[in-house]
Structures are given as C-alpha cells and as structure tokens.
C-alpha cells in the first residue's frame, strides 16, 4: 500500500495490524514474483525474474528469445486524464 498522505498510511497500517499478523518491512521490492522498482520517475514493474523462474521450472533456459508482438498503430501515453487517441 502507499499514499502521498503519511497519516493515512499510518492509520491504515494500524487498522491492518489490528486484524492481521503483519509487519512493515520497508520499501516494496518484490510482489507476487514481480520485481518492483520505485524512483522519482515512477514505479516500475519488471517480470524478468518471474520469467526466468518459469523457464527454469520447465527446463527452458536455453530457448531462443522472441519479441512480443504489439500493435504498431496504438501509442501509450502517461496522460491519465485526457482522451484516448489512436494514431
């Protein structure tokens, strides 16, 4: 969990600790097998460790890599408020 309001975070933690056995372990770095990197530029989620673990599990470490297809006429934007546009 996270918030720009520190008081809300503290209140939430107290409420959760009252209901569940939990501890605060610092900045999030892994969640459900995904790597999480937090910086001034934003929060980034990386699946490389998760993918490598899957490859190892199924003995596929030596497989040939391939790009993931994506539509070439759809552009992603950081604008979360404005309208969606397709170029």
Q: Is residue 6 left, alpha or beta, with left meaning phi > 0 and alpha meaning psi from -120 to 50?
A: alpha
Q: What are phi and psi of 42, to 5 degrees?
A: 145, -170
pTM: 0.39
Q: What are phi and psi of 38, to 5 degrees?
A: -110, 130
Q: What is the pLDDT along the chain (87 residues), one digit of tens a residue?
A: 667 788 888 888 888 888 888 777 777 787 777 888 888 888 888 888 888 888 999 999 888 877 777 777 777 777 777 776 665
- Per-position DSSP letters for 20-68, written without gaps between them: S-----SS--EETTEEEEEETTEEEEE-HHHHHHHHHHTT-TTPPP-PP
């Amino acid at each position: 969990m996270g918030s720009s309001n520190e008081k809300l975070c503290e209140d939430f933690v107290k409420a959760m600790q009252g209901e569940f056995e939990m501890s605060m372990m610092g900045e999030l770095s892994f969640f459900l097998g995904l790597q999480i990197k937090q910086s001034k530029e934003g929060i980034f989620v990386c699946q490389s460790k998760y993918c490598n673990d899957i490859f190892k599990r199924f003995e596929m470490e030596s497989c040939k890599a391939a790009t993931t297809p994506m539509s070439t006429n759809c552009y992603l934007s950081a604008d979360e408020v404005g309208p969606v546009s397709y170029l």
